[in-house]
Amino acid sequence: MSYNRKDAISYAQKWALKRNPKYYNYDLLGGDCTNFISQCLYAGLPQMNYQGYGWYYADANHKSASWTGVEFLYNFLIKNSSAGPRGRIIQKNELELGDLIQLSFMQSIYSHTLIVTKIENKDTFVCTHSHDALNRPFASYSYENARYIKIS
């Protein structure tokens, strides 16, 4: 099974400014961005991973840390060699639709996850939750560091 970027982007654009009632809203518990991004990834590759560290969601109390946590998702994607999405670090100019960006606002602590939903004239646009955004220009963000994750 391969990652369907079109399905991931369609989901992101549909739910960027609202919440899918099938999933818990973590806005009041530290933010909903990575929960939303996991939903987008799942829309593009509907295959959860229940092995070891895993990447899965059943309900608010039965989910993997990687489903909702920025660093946990990063570690899962980079280390995953079984079911579910996989990722690798790339350069910004290698981003494609459906890839991820994670931002650090202070020191080296990454705390926000975005999905690339549009690339136009070399400009990148993203969707996310917490600070909800629908096709927001990535250039409009202020951050200390960014890492770019190719999803495969």
- pLDDT tens-place string over residues 2-46: 999 999 999 999 999 999 999 999 998 888 999 999 999 999 999
Tell me how long the chain is: 152
Angle between helices 70-79 and 33-44 (to 10 degrees): 30
Instruction: Please work out, in degrees rounded to the nearest 5, the angle formed at the alpha carbon of residue 26 by the alpha carbons of 29 and 11.
Output: 155
- CA geometry: angle 39, 109, 58, nearest 5 deg: 25
- The DSSP symbol for 108 reads T
**Per-residue pLDDT at 24:** 95
Q: pTM value?
A: 0.96
- Counting the structural domains of the chain, the total is 1
Predicted local distance difference test score (pLDDT) of residue 106: 83
Rounded to 10 deg, the angle between the 33-44 and 5-15 helix axes is 140
The per-residue pLDDT string of the chain (152 residues; one tens digit each, 9 = 90 and over) reads: 899 999 999 999 999 999 999 999 999 888 899 999 999 999 999 999 998 889 999 999 999 999 999 999 999 999 999 999 999 999 999 999 999 999 999 878 999 999 999 999 989 999 999 999 999 999 999 999 999 999 99
pLDDT of residue 38: 98
Q: Rounded distance, CA 41 to CA 4, Å?
A: 9
Give the residue numbers spanning the domain of 51.
5-151
Residue 93's DSSP bridge partners are none
CA-to-CA distance for 65 and 94, rounded, in angstroms?
28
Identify any residues that bridge with 123 across adjacent strands, giving them in sequence order: 120
